[in-house]
Structure 1
Amino acid sequence: MRMASGDVSLDGKVAIVTGSGRGLGLAYATELARRGAAVVVNDVDDDVAQAAAARVADAGGRATAVVAPVGPTATARQLVATAVETFGRLDVLVTNAGVLRDTVLWKMTDDDFDTVVDVHLRGTFTCVREAATQLRAQGEGGRIVCVGSPTGQRGNFGQTNYAAAKAGIVGMVRTWAMELARAEVTVNAVVPVAATAMTETVPFFRPFVEAARRGEPMPPFARRVLGFGGPDDVAGLVAFLASDAAAGITGQAIGVGGDRLAVWSHPQEVAVALAEGGWSADELAQDFASVLGAHLQTVGQELPEPPAGD
């Protein structure tokens, strides 16, 4: 990974990173601290949260921990209050906390669905609402970075709950970017692809995750074709979006992983057909294939076969 030139500074900034005890969240919190930010880390496990806070502080920043599950309004209020009471203000929120309860639709329980949606979707909503209130009151702008997923963009087998939550997050980000523009608060979504406990559940990615755990370098196919790397490959984008250098970027869904950086498009019409008086069922049965059939969209992530030897 290329070293930073030092142009992106977060000196004097205060950030909250939810779900930052391990994995991607810890990488984000550590990079923000390395850039000069004071960081409120968060996890549901006290030992993990305290260890993360110590690691973040070792990176050069100040850190404190909030041990609480993301989702309830009370946790969002505790996170923002801790930032203000401990460090005097809030400048950056990164909503990263998440869980998985993967199973196919007909086996998914209400609890499977509710747990994932509560942490990812409701947790993003409650934390951003509380942070936005604080940032607007301060009157000095701010940065909000929400974590999405390719699953929310294209769907994935066995992840009804996760796909719904991650798609909803991007929809909220687009809306909040408009609502908070006058307050000079930018809101963006990061769509990471990285070796974590979550991606290990995807059979296609499991060999790469296991190799990374063994300390083996990620092959070029993973880093360049799949855009798949480690948590540190994502952290740079989060730090950039949290900085003054990204003041003109808002309402975007930006993918990152390995050597790749990408912008995800809005869902939009890709083909239009007109019929005088509208379309009856009979006309659709007769003409749909010829007028729109060639434009139907694929579902799920299209993953290429790795070359021999990778």
Structure 2
Amino acid sequence: MDDKTPTYRLDGKTIIVTGAGQGIGKATALALAHSGAAVIVNDVDADAAHSVVTAICADGGQAAAVIAAIGTDGAAEDCVSAAVANFGRLDGLFANAGVLRDSVLWKTEDDAFDLVIATHLRGTFQCARAAARQFRAQGEGGSLIYAASPAGQSGNFGQGAYAAAKAGIVGMMRSHALELARDKVAVNAIIPTALTRMTATIPALAPHVAAMEQGQPLPENLRAKHGIGTAQDIAPLVVFLASDKARGITGQCIGIGGDRLSLWSHPSEVRTATRSGGWRVEDLADGWQDFSADAVQPIGVPLAFD
């Protein structure tokens, strides 16, 4: 590669994108292929997955479909096997597949909770494990990119299961970044904010989703202040993180959406105090107001977009 060749080109690389039949996954699969990567297009919807493969191939790219429900046994291994069988190697994974089953705590059923956790958290774990094993066998490093969410960072009303899964993904990411550092595997989580079929269920965003689907431009306030745009706005970050230029970036939560890019902090203590002999209930009750003044952390994703 000469110095004039953009290092974000992905020629010769093979990338898996889970949940690539629509939304962010589809936009990312198309962008990766346009950048020269061969793409494994995973989705549970066969028609959607094959449609994306057809679009990539019609544009001169390379792609193959794997129809599987991420989070079920064998699905991750099928994706990795397809990458090796079709294109000879694996260089990156974008663990994007997900589902929503929103409900408040007292109305959430076990099967809905289990499905969300299995798809997002278990699915990301299984895909990362399968990819890491292939990276280690190849001995040339790689890129793992996990899909997190503002809900996992701040919580969101009616999304306890989803928030738990996404928070778990971020925790795994940090551990995986440490575990795979010697293998030259970069591990990061992106926090995308985009108008998709999933966000159309949020009442404050539903009108904007409808306007977007009618071809209307999104308000500047939405794109810049709130960082909410289209699925296509998310794809460049995934392409960048999958490139050789980003191999030194690891263990980070990176937000992108609309016109805004952000780097999220890791959880850390915001204030400490010590008391000789430890803390009694009375000490905590009497001193809490002074101790916590101006330090109590906000919760919830902002949902006022006008």
Q: Name the TM-score, length of structure 2 as normaliser.
A: 0.96
Matches within 5 A, 1:175-190: 175-190=175-190
> CA 1:54 to 1:111, structure 2 compared with 1: closer, same or farther past 3 Å?
same
Does the aligned pair in 1 maintain the 2:177–2:186 contact within 8 Å?
A: yes
Residue matched to 1:93: 93
Aligned residue for 1:103? 103
Task: Please give the alpha-carbon distance, in whole angstroms, between the structure 2 residues aligned to 1:56 and 1:199.
Answer: 26
Alignment of 1:1-310 (within 5 A): 7-304=7-304, 306=306
- Poorly superposed stretches of 4+, deviation over 4 Å: none
Cα distance between partner residues in 2 of 1:300 and 1:291: 23
The alpha carbon displacement at 1:274 in A equals 1.7
- Provide the rounded CA distance (Å) in 2 between the counterparts of 1:282 and 1:156: 33
Post-superposition Cα deviations, 1:109-148, rounded to whole Å, max 9, x if no partner, equal 0001000000000000001000000000000010110100
For 2:104 and 2:20, locate their aligned partners in 1 and report how far apart those are by CA, in whole Å.
28
Q: Distance in 1 between matches of 2:150 and 2:140?
A: 32
Write the distance in 2 (CA, Å) between the matches of 1:93 and 1:161.
24
Q: Gapped runs of 5+ residues in structure 2? A: none
Structure 2: distance between partners of 1:299 and 1:60: 46
Is the 2:148–2:192 contact (alpha carbons within 8 Å) kept by the matching residues of 1? yes
Mean Cα displacement is larger for which, 14-23 or 297-306?
Answer: 297-306
Q: How many pairs are equivalent?
A: 302
- Cα deviation for residue 47 of structure 1 reads 1.2
Partners of 2:58 and 2:262 lie apart in 1 by: 31
Paired residues of 1:117 and 1:162 also in contact (CA < 8 A): yes
Superposition RMSD on alpha carbons, in Å? 1.2
Percent identity of equivalent pairs: 53
Whichever residue aligns with residue 112 of structure 2, its letter is: D
Q: Extract unaligned runs of 5+ from structure 1.
A: none
Q: Secondary structure at the match of 1:294?
A: coil
**CA positional deviation for 1:45:** 1.6
Residue pair 1:273, 1:292 contacting (<8 A) in 2 also: no
Measured after TM superposition, the shift of residue 59 of structure 1 is 3.7
Shift, 1:58, TM fit: 3.0
Deviation at 1:305, TM superposition (A): 5.1
Whole-Å separation in 1 of the counterparts to 2:136 and 2:233: 31
Aligned residue for 1:295, secondary structure, equals: coil
Q: 1:6 Cα shift?
A: 5.0
Measured against aligned partners, the alpha-carbon deviations of 1:17-69 in whole angstroms (never above 9, x if no partner) come to: 00000110001110000000000101112111111111122343201100110
**Does the aligned pair in 2 maintain the 1:38–1:87 contact within 8 Å?**
yes
CA-to-aligned-CA distance 1:166-202 (integer Å, 9 cap, x gap):
0000000000000000000000001000010111111
Contact 2:94 2:145 in 1 (8 A): yes
* 2:19/2:25 contact within 8 Å kept: yes
Is contact 1:49-1:67 (8 Å) kept? Answer: yes
Deviates most, 7-16 or 134-143:
7-16
State the shift of 1:207 in Å: 1.7
How many angstroms apart in 2 are the aligned matches of 1:67 and 1:133?
21
Provide the C-alpha distance between the structure 2 equivalents of 1:305 and 1:213, rounded to a whole number of angstroms: 18
Q: Distance in 2 between matches of 1:8 and 1:127?
A: 23
- Cα 1:180/1:7, change in 2 over 3 Å: closer
Which amino acid in 1 is paired with 2:164?
Answer: A
Q: State the Cα distance separating 1:303 from its structure 2 match.
A: 4.2
Q: Distance in 1 between matches of 2:289 and 2:62?
A: 60
Q: Secondary structure at the match of 1:47?
A: helix
